Amino acid sequence: MRLNTAFLGSGDFSRDLLYKLLRAGCEFAGVITRPDRPAGRGLRINPTPVKALAGEEGLEVYQPTGPKDPAFLSIMEELRPELLLVADYGYLLTRTVLEYPPYGCVNVHPSLLPRYRGAAPIQRALMDGARITGVTLMAMDEGMDTGGIIAQEEIGVEDRDDALALRSRLASLGARMVVGIVPLYLSGSVVPRPQEEESATYADPIRKPDLLIDWTHTALNVHNQVRALSPRPGAYTGFRGKRVKILRTLPREDIQRDRPGMLEVPEKDVILAGTGKGALQLEEIQPEGKKAMSAGEFLRGYRLLPSESFDEPPP
């Protein structure tokens, strides 16, 4: 892209996308991201993933409180972008912002729109056990991921994909599409097509209740929850009065246990947890306040008692 372009993004997907675009030789007049937010138990102020990368790459970073902030238009006047490239920004753009750049605003969305509109398309696709997902380039309008589709490409979801692995592959695909297709769109060779509203689904933001494992669910459902939330924020359960995150699992629907959450060691370094249907083999676990560890390391540090189970986590 040879246009004067600004990049809008905040989260992990947009950070990965920006990194790959920069490595592909793309240049940006500036980067606009959300303001820093407090996070963690200490409520330490953390930059957005995009801000952290942009700082490392020497890009100019702007952090208005949102598109309605008067400072946003001041930034537009300073940068004079001909195109806004948007991914995982966190705000709906106003009509004024959408109409500012002569070539409009192109969104890179990690799903096959109109499926999984919204904030968490990668996590929700994994939770649903989707076998196919992809990337959509969209000409933005005022709705939430409702604009015309410039282009789409599919990608298969692998059995061992977690959110990190799938996000990285989608970002690579998105970067290739931006480099190869956006110039065709800007030249008029590619015309956006409307979305099929009757097929729309929504990917709600990940909330605290989404993180708690319900062992009465099937092994496959719990496995999909675990990988959708790994490596962070991580699905969790209770163990001996503390929280423990389950980060990597293998569903064993060929095995049935009577009690959901019951733990068993059928052989060395193997932990099985009972579910509502089948069992779950635990491969990576992170006890509260400790680093992630393999099942074998967990067993050496926490000798399981006969018929011990996961329990209710502390509030």
Residue 40 has pLDDT above 70, yes or no: no
Q: Write out the two tokens for 82.
A: 């001909």
- Give the contacts of 91 (CB within 8 A, at least 6 positions apart): 34, 66, 67
From the CB of residue 294, how many other CB atoms can be counted at a distance below 10 Å?
A: 15
Q: Where are the beta strands (DSSP E) in 253-311?
A: 263-264, 271-274, 279-287, 293-294
Q: 207 with 101: CB under 8 angstroms?
A: no
Q: Using one digit for the tens of pLDDT, what is the confidence trace for 80-130?
A: 999 999 999 999 999 999 999 999 999 999 999 999 999 999 999 999 999
The mean pLDDT value for 169-198 works out to 97
Q: Is the pTM of this model over 0.85?
A: yes
Which among 135, 137, 162, 168 has a CA at the least distance from the CA of 150? 137
% of residues, the chain, pLDDT over 70: 98
Where do the domains of the chain lie, and which CATH numbers do they carry? Answer: 5-203 (3.40.50.170), 208-301 (3.10.25.10)
Q: Which of 30-39, 110-119, 192-201 has the lowest mean pLDDT?
A: 30-39
158, amino acid identity = E
pLDDT band at 1 (very low <50, low <70, confident <90, very high): low
Sign of CA dihedral 88, 94, 95, 97: negative
Q: What is the pLDDT of residue 43?
A: 67
Q: Using one digit for the tens of pLDDT, what is the confidence trace for 261-311?
A: 999 999 999 999 999 999 999 999 999 999 999 999 999 999 999 889 999
Q: How far apart are CA 272 and CA 295, in angstroms?
A: 10
